[in-house]
């Protein structure tokens, strides 16, 4: 079982573990961040590395979801590991508050996270702008220092006009030398759980 990063997964994991244990089911959990690994270890579940070529299921959150169930992710800085897990999964479940749903990715000025090698800091910035980014910011931590991903790479947040073709833009940005991963996720098959304020939800499916 793969685990994404962030507050959504941290809140869900205790309930998932409890429900599985009540059914007598134990899993090996593959976390994408130290934060989620710590939560899993507190629950005394089996935590392991990604050793299987296929993950049975990944549970994760999203920062933004468009009308075709494409995602922006990476607000927590684990986008490379999250994409590896989601791309290796037999099935994926994304849980997102209804406020995160938009017609097109990037609406409302929401930026696309980009994981970049430190060596390519200047060149990647220039090339992101050539690919259509209106503005590129280096992500900073609470102290004002550059923030780094789970893999030790720099994190940029790039502003684009609302994205017409997320899959095409993902390929274009990943072709930039030094870009390790992009926070545009076009994952199939996928189930997105749209959570309402009252706690009810709607399951939305995207197939291959």
Degrees to nearest 5, angle at CA 51 with 46 and 57: 65
pLDDT exceeds 90 at position 150: no
pLDDT at residue 20 in the model = 92
Q: Which fold has domain 2-101+186-206?
A: Rossmann fold (3.40.50)
Q: Which fold has domain 107-182?
A: Alpha-Beta Plaits (3.30.70)
Q: How far apart are CA 13 and CA 19, in angstroms?
A: 10
Residue 82 annotated in active site = yes
User: What's the pLDDT band for 49 if we cut at 50, 70, 90?
Assistant: confident
Per-residue model confidence as pLDDT tens digits over 52-64: 667 889 999 999 9
Q: Identify the active-site residue in 22, 54, 82, 98.
A: 82
pLDDT exceeds 70 at position 127: yes
Global model pTM greater than 0.85: yes
Per-residue model confidence as pLDDT tens digits over 170-206: 999 999 999 999 999 999 989 999 999 998 999 999 8
Domain regions of the chain by residue span: 2-101+186-206, 107-182
């Amino acid at each position: 079982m793969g685990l994404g990063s962030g507050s959504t997964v941290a809140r869900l994991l205790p309930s998932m573990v409890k429900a599985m244990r009540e059914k007598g089911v134990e899993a090996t959990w593959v976390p994408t961040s130290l934060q989620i690994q710590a939560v899993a270890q507190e629950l005394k579940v089996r935590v392991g590395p990604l050793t299987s070529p296929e993950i049975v299921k990944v549970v994760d959150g999203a920062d933004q979801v468009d009308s075709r169930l494409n995602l922006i992710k990476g607000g927590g800085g684990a986008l490379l590991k999250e994409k590896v897990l989601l791309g290796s999964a037999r099935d994926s479940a994304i849980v997102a508050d209804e406020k995160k749903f938009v017609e097109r990715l990037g609406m409302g000025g929401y930026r696309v996270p980009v994981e970049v090698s430190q060596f390519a800091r200047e060149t990647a910035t220039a090339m992101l702008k050539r690919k259509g980014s209106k503005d590129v910011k280096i992500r900073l931590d609470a102290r004002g220092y550059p923030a780094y991903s789970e893999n030790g790479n720099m994190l940029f947040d790039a502003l684009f006009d609302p994205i017409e073709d997320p899959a095409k833009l993902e390929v274009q940005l990943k072709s930039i030398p030094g870009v390790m991963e992009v926070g545009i996720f076009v994952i199939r098959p996928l189930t997105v759980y749209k959570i309402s304020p009252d706690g009810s939800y709607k399951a939305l499916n995207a197939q291959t």
